[in-house]
Chains A and B, each alone.
Chain A
Amino acid sequence: KQEVTQIPAALSVPEGENLVLNCSFTDSAIYNLQWFRQDPGKGLTSLLLIQSSQREQTSGRLNASLDKSSGRSTLYIAASQPGDSATYLCAVRPSTGGGNKLTFGTGTQLKVEL
C-alpha cells in the first residue's frame, strides 16, 4: 500500500525567505506526482505535475523535483510572500492499476510572516 509522508508538518518563515517542502512515498511505481495548495476551508489548487520520467518542473517562483528511485519529491518556493501561506499537499498516482486515483500526504502548513 502506497504511503505518502510530508515533512515538516508545519513551517513558519519570514517573508522573502526561500524554502523547501519535502514529500516521500513508499512505492516508487508511480505514474506522476502532483503538488497542490489548499487554503483554509477551500478546495485544492494544482501547482505542478511531474511525470515519472521527468526530474523537475517549474512555474514562476515554484520548482518541484522528483527522484522516483528514492521515493522523494521537493517543492522549492523562492522569495516567499505572505500570500503563499497555505497548506501544501503532494499526491502520487500509481503506475499499475488504481485507475487515476491519487494518494495524498497529510500536508505541510506554511505560514509566511511579514
Chain B
Amino acid sequence: DTGVSQDPRHKITKRGQNVTFRCDPISEHNRLYWYRQTLGQGPEFLTYFQNEAQLEKSRLLSDRFSAERPKGSFSTLEIQRTEQGDSAMYLCASSLGQGLYEQYFGPGTRLTVT
C-alpha cells in the first residue's frame, strides 16, 4: 500500500493556460474525492467519484473545471483558462466506501497562477 499519490506536486502557470492534475488512489478504494484548500483555510469539497461515476459536484466547480476517472482507477482534474483565484492546494483523497471508512489524503498539488 503506497498511499494516495498526486502529480505534479507543484505547478506554476500563467493566467489563461490550461493545467491538468493527476491522482492515483489507494488501489482497492472505490471512492475518490477532490478538495481545494486556500491559504489559512480548511479544504473545501469539489467533487467525488464512486468507481468511474462522478456522483456530486460542488458549486465551487465552475465550468472551467472538469474531472474524470476513467475505468475507476486514477483521476484527473483539469482547469481551463486558469485565473489567479485558482491558486490553491488541490487535494485528492480516497476511501474504501462510504459509511465508517476513513478518507486518506494525498500530498496535494500546489497550483500558482501568475
Asked whether, in the complex, the Cβ of A34 is within 8 Å of the Cβ of B106, the reply is no
* Cα distance, A91 to B103, chains bound together (Å): 11
Asked whether, in the complex, the Cβ of A100 is within 8 Å of the Cβ of B102, the reply is no
Given the interface pairs A43-B91, A100-B95, A106-B42, the reply to whether A34 lies near B102 with Cβ below 8 Å is yes
Contacts of B99 in A (CB 8 A): 31
B72 at interface, CB cutoff 8 A: no
Contacts of B6 in A (CB 8 A): 43
Asked whether, in the complex, the Cβ of B42 is within 8 Å of the Cβ of A105, the reply is yes
Contacts of A45 in B (CB 8 A): 105
Asked whether, in the complex, the Cβ of B100 is within 8 Å of the Cβ of A51, the reply is yes
- CB contacts under 8 Å to A, within B1-59, are 4, 6, 31, 33, 35, 40-45, 48, 55-56, 58
Contacts of A46 in B (CB 8 A): 102-105
Nearest chain B residue, comparing its CB with the CB of A9: B40
Given the interface pairs A34-B102, A43-B108, A49-B102, the reply to whether A101 lies near B42 with Cβ below 8 Å is no
Shortest CB distance B26–A (Å): 12
Nearest chain B residue, comparing its CB with the CB of A6: B42
Contacts of A32 in B (CB 8 A): 100
Asked whether, in the complex, the Cβ of A91 is within 8 Å of the Cβ of B102, the reply is no
Q: Indicate the member of B35, B58, B106, B110 with the most A CB atoms within 10 Å.
A: B35
The 8 Å CB contact of A100, one of B4, B48, B105, B110, is B48
Shortest CB distance A59–B (Å): 12
* Cα distance, A57 to B100, chains bound together (Å): 14
* Cα distance, A36 to B91, chains bound together (Å): 14
Contacts of B101 in A (CB 8 A): 100
What are 5 A-B pairs with beta-carbon distances under 8 A? A44-B93, A46-B103, A49-B102, A99-B56, A100-B33
For the complex of A and B, list the 7 residue pairs with the smallest distance between their C-beta atoms, beginning with the closest.
A104-B42, A44-B105, A101-B45, A43-B107, A43-B105, A43-B108, A100-B98
Interface residues of A (CB under 8 A from B): 4, 31-32, 34, 36, 41-46, 49, 51, 89, 91, 98-107
